[in-house]
């Protein structure tokens, strides 16, 4: 697919590189703007422009965003919400991935009557606009005493994330030959033995895909956070939105940008470290098998 390029002559090559590099710039500029603005003083922001370097670099925006900025009525920065997000994301990612692994195993290697239909129904769950479940879910969480708690958010993220993780694992395990499982069964290996001894050791890549996908989705979620959490249990995305929309006093864009960076850093780091798996998750989620 790439070997026709040799015939392309110079000007067209230069044009292609030109377009690609220009696009790089366009994708990078918001990140650059966010970074340099976060290190400016409010004065600097007013006198300079988006792409001007700070005249003197300062971390005042970051410290303010972390521990002083107002997110609504409270003015304690985003640090508490940042940890909330971790407390919510880590268990939700673990539980949904583990459930997904077992579901995928059953739906590919231990099919039963109606299991394909169940899988189809689960798949459909990936597409439902969450607006149709918000109100009943809010009512249920209230009844369970889990409204406005991190545990409630974990439950919600597990329920609406497990369809994706099941999809990942099921499609991965379908490609592993059934003969392997049949042979182990004849040797007397049971359900869990087969899973832990045969499938699990070869599942590292799909575990990575699922963990990273779920981490990104749950960390970045705003809808569930804003509907099901309030005050102390809010995740960072909700806090960031509150901070940016708080209209008391003079708008401090350096604080806004530092807070945005803080909210973005965990998923950015994951993307830089394990981008390969993230992209696989993205494409697996859209080109469904």
Partner 1 sequence: MEHTQRRPAGVARASSGLMDGLQRWLPKLVVAPTFLLVGIGIYGYMLWTGVLSFTNSSFLPSYNFVGLEQYAKLMESERWIVASWNLAIFGGLFIGICLLIGVVLAIFLDQRIRQEGAIRTIYLYPMALSMIVTGTVWRWILNPRLGLEKLMHDWGWTSFSFDWLVNSDFAIYTIVMAAVWQASGFVMALFLAGLRGVDSSIIRAARVDGASLPVIYWKIILPSLRPVFFSSVMVLAHIAIKSFDLVMAMTAGGPGYSTDLPAVFMYAHTFTRGQMGLGSASAMLMLGAILALLVPYLYSELREKRHD
Segment 63 to 92, residues that bind partner 1, using CB under 8 A: none
37 forms part of the interface with partner 1 (CB under 8 A): yes
- CB of residue 45 to partner 1, shortest distance in Å: 7
- CB of residue 214 to partner 1, shortest distance in Å: 13
160 forms part of the interface with partner 1 (CB under 8 A): yes
183 forms part of the interface with partner 1 (CB under 8 A): no
Which residue's CB is nearer to partner 1, number 74 or number 102? 102
Between residue 254 and residue 273, which ones bind partner 1 under the rule CB under 8 A? 256-257, 259-260, 263-264, 267-268, 270-272
Give the one residue of 27, 179, 247, 249 binding partner 1; rule: CB under 8 A: 27
Burial of 206: CB neighbours in 10 Å, binned 0-12, 13-18, 19+: buried
9 forms part of the interface with partner 1 (CB under 8 A): no
Stretch of 59-67, 144-152, 176-184, 239-247 lying at the interface with partner 1 (CB under 8 A): 239-247
125 forms part of the interface with partner 1 (CB under 8 A): yes
34 forms part of the interface with partner 1 (CB under 8 A): yes
- CB of residue 276 to partner 1, shortest distance in Å: 10
Stretch of 24-32, 61-69, 86-94, 173-181 lying at the interface with partner 1 (CB under 8 A): 24-32
State the Cα–Cα distance between residues 85 and 87, nearest whole angstrom.
5
- CB of residue 89 to partner 1, shortest distance in Å: 12
Give the one residue of 127, 143, 179, 248 binding partner 1; rule: CB under 8 A: 127
Cβ contacts of residue 227 below 8 Å, gap of 6+?
134, 138
State the Cα–Cα distance between residues 36 and 229, nearest whole angstrom.
32
**Nearest alpha carbon to residue 171 among 117, 100, 271:** 100
46 forms part of the interface with partner 1 (CB under 8 A): yes
162 forms part of the interface with partner 1 (CB under 8 A): yes
- E strand or H helix at 91: helix 79-109
Strand partners, 157: none
- 223 conformational bin, left if phi > 0, alpha if psi -120 to 50, beta if neither: alpha
**Nearest alpha carbon to residue 71 among 254, 230, 273:** 230
**Nearest alpha carbon to residue 96 among 41, 170, 11, 164:** 164
- E strand or H helix at 129: none
């Amino acid at each position: 697919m790439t070997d026709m390029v040799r015939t392309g002559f110079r000007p067209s090559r230069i044009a292609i590189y030109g377009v690609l590099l220009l696009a790089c710039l366009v994708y990078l500029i918001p990140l650059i703007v966010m970074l340099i603005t976060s290190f400016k003083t409010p004065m600097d922001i007013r006198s300079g422009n988006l792409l001007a370097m700070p005249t003197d670099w300062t971390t005042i925006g970051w410290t303010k965003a972390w521990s002083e900025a107002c997110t609504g009525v409270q003015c304690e920065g985003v640090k508490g919400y940042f940890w909330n997000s971790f407390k919510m994301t880590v268990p939700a990612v673990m539980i949904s991935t583990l459930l997904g692994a077992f579901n995928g195993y059953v739906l590919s290697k231990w099919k039963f009557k109606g299991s394909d239909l169940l899988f189809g129904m689960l798949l459909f769950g990936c597409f439902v606009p969450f607006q149709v479940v918000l109100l009943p879910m809010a009512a249920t969480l209230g009844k369970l005493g889990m409204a406005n708690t991190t545990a409630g958010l974990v439950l919600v993220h597990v329920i609406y994330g497990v369809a994706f993780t099941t999809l990942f694992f099921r499609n991965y395990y379908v490609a592993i030959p059934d003969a392997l499982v049949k042979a182990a069964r004849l040797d007397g290996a049971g359900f869990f033995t087969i899973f832990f001894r045969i499938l699990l050791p070869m599942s590292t890549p799909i575990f990575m895909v699922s963990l990273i996908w779920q981490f990104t989705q749950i960390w970045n979620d705003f809808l569930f956070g804003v509907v099901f959490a309030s005050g102390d249990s809010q995740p960072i995305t909700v806090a960031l939105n509150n901070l940016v929309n708080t209209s008391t006093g003079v708008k401090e864009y350096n604080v806004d940008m530092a807070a945005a960076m803080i909210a973005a850093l965990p998923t950015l780091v994951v993307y830089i470290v394990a981008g390969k798996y993230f992209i696989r998750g993205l494409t697996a989620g859209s080109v469904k098998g």
